[in-house]
Amino acid sequence: MKRTSRSQWCLQAIVLACVLSACGYTTEEGVRGFIDAERAALRPVSKALPPPKPFEAAIYEAGDRPDPFSKQAFVQALVGPANASKPSIATPELARVRTPLEAFTLASMALVGVIARDGQAVALVQADGKLHQIALGDYLGQHLGKVTKIENTRITLREMVQDDWGEWSVRNTILTLQEMSK
């Protein structure tokens, strides 16, 4: 028994010596040299980029054509001519002549009072430093705002707004009386 254990011990010592000799002593220079050699051997594979296409400027002559940078042209390009040309609730509003008060935002206007003229309520609205008389059915603001109701302290407007897809929707907006400071 001693013989087998001694032969096993010798065999284990030889295997251990072989394993330890494979792990030889390596210096930092050796490791850096190996890394540098491997980096030098690697070459990235890249294809040459094609040359850029020459720019050709398009000449735009307006004539009777619509503005290509308008919101309607953008919507028509997105949804197609069939959907963009369908009648909408704003078609009659867009066909009429605009009033001067439609150039101002509602935020820049102030309701300063309401008076009665011939039995009808008339609102006094200040815009651009001037006082304007507003009756039922008049338009003001940049969203096709039509006056639907005039009360002592406020005006109710029906506005039509267009979303990014060209669809129109109606919303009610109220312009309230502004208190004057002394």
Report DSSP letters for 28-90, one per residue.
Answer: HHHHHHHHHHHHHH-----PPPPPPPPP-PPP---TTSPPTTSHHHHHHHHH-HHHHTS--TT
Single-letter amino acid, residue 141: G
The residue extents of the domains of the chain are: 88-176
What's the rounded Cα separation, in Å, for the pair 81 and 171?
Answer: 27
Q: What is the pTM of this model?
A: 0.50
Residues 73-126: pLDDT tens digits? 766 666 665 454 556 676 777 778 888 888 899 889 999 999 988 888 999 999
Q: Which of 13-17, 24-28, 39-43, 107-111 has the lowest mean pLDDT?
A: 24-28
Domain covering 88-176, topology: SH3 type barrels. (2.30.30)
Q: Which two tokens stand for residue 75?
A: 């919507």
What's the rounded Cα separation, in Å, for the pair 88 and 95?
Answer: 12
